[in-house]
Structure 1
């Protein structure tokens, strides 16, 4: 069962807002795609969109999002006025499609952009921009699974900096269970709520972060 990042009625606006943010930052303000992605993923804006805050999913325009990202990460105020566009640019599609995949998969933006560079997304635009966005989601999911072959539990544990034994001791979850979850010999998605809570609390992440897509 896929757990979406936030309710679907926010999705359409979130896609348009992130699409407009990419288009405005790159095509109007002259920021490179790679640079804007780096700014976006480290900003609190991306975290607030990930957390499903309505103020950022439906309460801000794409231009407002881009302005806030640049102001927060670079301390700069963009003064460039937006221009009316009749067609949707490749940059708009990138933001629009990635926002859909974020909602669909529940994956974090920094993970998505780690597996899919701006250049890779540009290449995908030419073959996928007229296709249903679910086609992009399928390809993106395959790319992320290639990039992150470890289970979420193992990846988060190693990033946190503890061994399996230390995690078992601190969380109260059996060492053998942790080993089996990380080796995919046991499905962590079927773990009890208490087990997921203990692991996530110990590792400083959410229970959803441990779920395998």
Structure 2
């Protein structure tokens, strides 16, 4: 059973907000897509959408999202007045599709855009924008899973330059268990909450970051 990022009742609102945001940032504010995505994924906005906060899933327009992202990351905002757009741009589709995949997979936006660049999404648009969303989801999921072939535990541990032995000593989780989790011989998704808490505390991440999607 797939555990989605938040309740499905908010999905269409989240898709509308993100499609409008990316379209507005690129085509009205003239911010290159890759640049806006870099700002978006480090902002609190992306995390609040990921966490399913209703105020952001259903209460923010695309323009408001862009303005908050720019204010948080660059100390400025975009245009203050809404500009009517009737064209369904490539960027419009990217925001709509990515919002769906984030909800579907429960992955973080930074992981999605790390595995699939904005340019890659632009290329996908030409063959997938008229297809059923499930086709895009399957392709995106395969790309993300291929990119993150290592377990989340190993990837996060190595990013922090922490050895397995150090992690075992500092967390109190057995070295053999850590090795088996990283080799996928033991399912970390079935680990106790205490084990996940101890590992995440040492690694400086959330317990959810260690779960395999």
Task: Give TM-score, length-normalised by structure 2.
Answer: 0.94
Which residue pairs with 2:117 in the alignment?
117
Q: What is the CA distance between 1:16 and its match in structure 2?
A: 0.6
Whole-angstrom distance in 1 between the partners of 2:80 and 2:45: 20
| Equivalent pair of 2:66/2:77 in contact (CA under 8 Å) | no
| Equivalent pair of 1:29/1:80 in contact (CA under 8 Å) | no
Residue by residue over 1:39-98, the C-alpha shift from the partner in whole angstroms, topping out at 9 and shown as x without a partner, is 111112112212222111111101100111112211222226433233421101101111
Which residue pairs with 1:204 in the alignment?
204
Query: After superposition, where does 1:55-66 map in structure 2 within 5 Å?
Result: 55-66=55-66
Which residue pairs with 2:144 in the alignment?
144
Whole-angstrom distance in 1 between the partners of 2:184 and 2:174: 15
Q: Secondary structure at the match of 1:162?
A: coil
Structure 2, unpaired ranges of 5+ = none
Give yes or no for the alignment of 1:154 onto 2:163: no
Whole-angstrom distance in 2 between the partners of 1:131 and 1:204: 40
Give yes or no for the alignment of 1:185 onto 2:185: yes
Which piece of structure 1 moves more, 21-30 or 190-199? 190-199
Aligned positions, number: 213
Whole-angstrom distance in 2 between the partners of 1:79 and 1:129: 28
| Equivalent pair of 2:33/2:118 in contact (CA under 8 Å) | yes
| Equivalent pair of 1:5/1:52 in contact (CA under 8 Å) | yes
Task: Give TM-score, length-normalised by structure 1.
Answer: 0.94
Give yes or no for the alignment of 1:84 onto 2:77: no
Residue by residue over 1:144-174, the C-alpha shift from the partner in whole angstroms, topping out at 9 and shown as x without a partner, is 1221121001011112231111111122211
Whole-angstrom distance in 1 between the partners of 2:77 and 2:8: 32
Whole-angstrom distance in 1 between the partners of 2:29 and 2:89: 14
Q: Secondary structure at the match of 2:20?
A: helix
Give yes or no for the alignment of 1:7 onto 2:7: yes
Give yes or no for the alignment of 1:47 onto 2:34: no
Whole-angstrom distance in 2 between the partners of 1:12 and 1:83: 21
| Equivalent pair of 1:28/1:82 in contact (CA under 8 Å) | no
Q: CA RMSD in A?
A: 1.5
Whole-angstrom distance in 1 between the partners of 2:77 and 2:98: 25
